[in-house]
Structure 1
Amino acid sequence: MKEQGIWKPSDESIKTLEKMKHTVNPYVDTVKKQIPFEVPKLPQSESLSSLIKQSWNAGVMATFAFLANLPNKVEDWKTGGMQTITKNPDMKKFLDSFSSKNAPQSK
């Protein structure tokens, strides 16, 4: 794929896309004739490039939003998990056994 220009600068990638469309077009016409419904046209190179950029940017923004909120989410999950665990009397007793061992001894 790299040799064909897919991962090269965008102007070369667009040329490769146009070349692929030109090569595939006769086969697409043959298949279209065999399909009983209308197949929508492929987007133009410029709009396809724009769609890819928008999708990429949305994915990047969602990833960084997730990473930015991760510390708060982990804290919420920890707090909620501990509250759920301590509601169980057996677990509360088990956890309390550790805190009583670490508590300072009174003389």
Structure 2
Amino acid sequence: MVARVWSLMRFLIKGSVAGGAVYLVYDQELLGPSDKSQAALQKAGEVVPPAMYQFSQYVCQQTGLQIPQLPAPPKIYFPIRDSWNAGIMTVMSALSVAPSKAREYSKEGWEYVKARTK
């Protein structure tokens, strides 16, 4: 009984995290033009390091541990506009060949099963 409840709780937590991620992507319009994606990445780069520092300070205060000062994160420039189309092209290419690959793999699997049962 406990195992079923625990597995249900794990499923609900994972579903909530996945749903939250989908909502965040939709709310921030990250699947739209690359300008908005670039702006969201830049905003995250500005917000995340101070938040991590504040969290580490909070943990230090609550636990009494001393965390050494970490070096500043490197400045990373990742042009989403250049890689966005390449990613979309790769995904669409994979989706377009998926039916033929599925048929090919199932045929190979069927031949393997037939060979093993003889």
TM-score, normalising length: structure 2? 0.44
Higher Rg = 1
Greater relative contact order, per chain length (Cα 8 Å cut-off, separation 6+)? 2
TM-score, normalising length: structure 1? 0.46
